[in-house]
Amino acid sequence: MTANLRTGSDFARLSRRVSEAGLLDRRPGYYVFRIGLVATLFVSGWIAFFAIGDSWWQLGIAVFQAVMFGQIALLSHDLAHRQVFRTRRPSEIAGRIAGNLGVGMSYGWWMDKHTRHHANPNHEDLDPDVDPDILVWSKEQARASKGLPRFIGRYQAFLFFPLLTLEGLNLHFSGIRAVSKPGIRRRGLEAALLLTHFALYFSALLVVLSPGKALVFFIVHKALWGVYMGSIFAPNHKGMPILSGDTELDFLRKQVLTSRNVRGGRIVDVALGGLNYQIEHHLFPSMPSPHLRRARPIVQGYCEEIGVPYHETGLVESYALALRSLHEAGEPIRLSEGSPAGTFTERR
């Protein structure tokens, strides 16, 4: 008990340092600017869509709106963590507008899933982000896999980015499935907002574009949005330790040891929505995203003081580590079926 209390106090001391630096304070001006900018660009993209008309130049708008959908999803993420508003009600209202109405992703479904992830990151029994529903994340999951995960798991590292082209559709489908049955708060409102989103989206495509162009626009838009979303979250935990069963790790160690930061300048910060500072975000989920960069040296220095490894890589290296981990996790499937078992880096 004494040891647990001592390790548990590590986070309290870090939290005091971060709080004294003012990094847990709200940033209303920043979020007014960011929300206003994203909303303006998003609306401008649709105005350009209607202005261009039935043309193949619309594929440029599809690419642009894939990025905008990602940025709106990142804003919904910040709202869910109460980085923007301190209380639940305005956070939920804005979150549903951004998530359900803006991009067709259920705010309630995603918040439930993401909350469970934050409570137990990279825990193969408790973190929904490492469920072996399509991919396997550990050799134990690979050995127990059947059906689609076993089929894909052989070469899942090579299939990872191609599969991300379906992630946008998966987010839509998961939200629709969630509101079709009891379980999430304000289910009727969420369903109505999702229905409105899809009605407006498909009406715009079919009114402005010919059927063939509308189909191509839809494929390009959803595929690139999926790749963007997956590319935001893939560097953060993939390739870090997978936990299982009961763990004796305290809060600080559980969050730090399973997370990885991604180095980069302001462009990376904007593209990843501040989630490149994943360690700081997991330790302080309600910290406004512009403060995460400033919290990094405090957290990194403190981890060095108490002897906790602090993992940070470049963006390309983070993807390589994630893909290598996926390839290694699928090794038992390849061995059991007589497939070559070379490393991912060797095969590249």
Helix H, strand E, coil C: the string for 207-254 is HHCCHHHHHHHHHHHHHHHHHHHHHHHHHHHCCCCCECCCCCCCHHHH
* 91 lies in some domain: yes
Please give the average per-residue pLDDT across 197-209, as a whole number: 98
Residue 204 falls within a domain, yes or no? yes
pLDDT in tens, 113-144: 999 999 999 998 899 999 888 999 999 999 99
* pLDDT for res 168: 95
- Closest alpha carbon to 235 in 266, 209, 264: 264
**pLDDT tens track for 279-289:** 999 999 999 99
Q: Contact 35/75 with Cβ under 8 angstroms? A: yes
In a domain, 199, yes or no: yes
Return the percentage of the chain with pLDDT > 90, whole number.
85
**Phi, psi of 258, rounded to the nearest 5 degrees:** -100, 5
Per the domain annotation, does 165 fall within a domain? yes
How large is the C-alpha radius of gyration of the chain?
A: 21
Say which amino acid occupies 334: R
User: If pLDDT is split at 50, 70 and 90, which confidence band does 181 have?
Assistant: confident
**Domain assignment of residue 172, yes or no:** yes
Q: Looking at residues 158-168, what average pLDDT do you find?
A: 95
pLDDT at residue 2 in the model: 32
pLDDT of residue 339: 59
Q: Do residues 267 and 56 touch, judged by C-beta distance below 8 A?
A: no
Q: Give the integer Cα–Cα distance in Å for 153 and 138.
A: 10
Q: Tell me whether residue 340 is in a domain.
A: no
- Tell me the pTM: 0.90
- Whether 4 has a pLDDT exceeding 50, the answer reads no
Residue 230 in contact with residue 170, Cβ under 8 Å?
no
Alpha carbon distance 320, 337 (integer Å): 25
Q: Does residue 64 lie within any of the structural domains?
A: yes
pLDDT attached to residue 337: 75
Domain around 34? 10-331
SS3 label, residue 262: strand
